[in-house]
A and B are shown apart, each in its own frame.
Chain A
Amino acid sequence: EAGVAQSPRYKIIEKRQSVAFWCNPISGHATLYWYQQILGQGPKLLIQFQNNGVVDDSQLPKDRFSAERLKGVDSTLKIQPAKLEDSAVYLCASRLMTGSGYTFGSGTRLTVV
């Protein structure tokens, strides 16, 4: 089966600019996650979708981050305006059912300068 697709792979922007990331999960996976992974740390959950509804966005900095999954399939994560501390890898993952493992995409490495 095809994996989780993410784009772009790399992005360099200046602080205060905006950026958007895209994710297409595995077909049939209702649950989609966005994680932020800062260098040397484990993934931190930003937002979880179940179909096109938000299940958990408690750690999403809502003053600058937004995410949507309009048709319950692919998703976009946006940062506006970006800060230096947003430099990280942004990972998208999907899961078929509760208790199964996640399938992660390759991630988008964001550098804010």
Chain B
Amino acid sequence: GNSVTQMEGPVTLSEEAFLTINCTYTATGYPSLFWYVQYPGEGLQLLLKATKADDKGSNKGFEATYRKETTSFHLEKGSVQVSDSAVYFCALNPNSGGYQKVTFGTGTKLQVIP
């Protein structure tokens, strides 16, 4: 079946540090890949997405590139801010036709300290 594996958190960084949160997936075919962010006490918000191999999704300074050869979709940001503190979820949509069920990773908590 489909699965998403994320690095365990929490990830603690100082402000302006470089961020990488690893995400790898298992799926047949050509899934769409997503990163969602969840701020404390809120629901999940779509951060960025990529729908085919080598696509780069980007939003709010965050980027992730769809790497089919390594089945990865790592999230990166060049300079994090305290306001980026949240839980980040990697997810995939199988796009395999018929009924499609999105699979979420377990989430990675990011803490950014001033």
| A interface, CB within 8 angstroms of B | 4, 6, 40-43, 45, 48, 55-56, 91, 93, 98-99, 101-107
From A42, A56, A105, B99 is in contact (CB under 8 Å) with A56
Instruction: Name the prevailing secondary structure of the B interface residues.
Output: loop
Q: How far is the CB of B102 from chain A (nearest CB, A)?
A: 7
Given contacts A99-B93, A101-B49, A45 and B44 within 8 Å (CB-CB) = no
Note all chain B residues with C-beta closer than 8 A to A48.
Answer: 101
Interface size on B, residues (CB 8 A): 22
17 A-B interface contacts by CB (under 8 A): A4-B43, A42-B105, A43-B89, A48-B101, A56-B101, A91-B44, A98-B95, A98-B100, A99-B95, A101-B36, A102-B36, A102-B102, A104-B36, A104-B45, A106-B41, A106-B42, A107-B43
Are the CB atoms of B101 and A101 closer together than 8 Å?
A: no
| B interface, CB within 8 angstroms of A | 32, 34, 36, 41-46, 49, 51, 89, 93, 95, 99-102, 104-107
Bound CA–CA A45/B104 (angstroms): 9
Are the CB atoms of A99 and B51 closer together than 8 Å?
A: yes
Given contacts A42-B104, A45-B101, A99-B93, A105 and B43 within 8 Å (CB-CB) = yes
Q: How far is the CB of B75 from chain A (nearest CB, A)?
A: 15
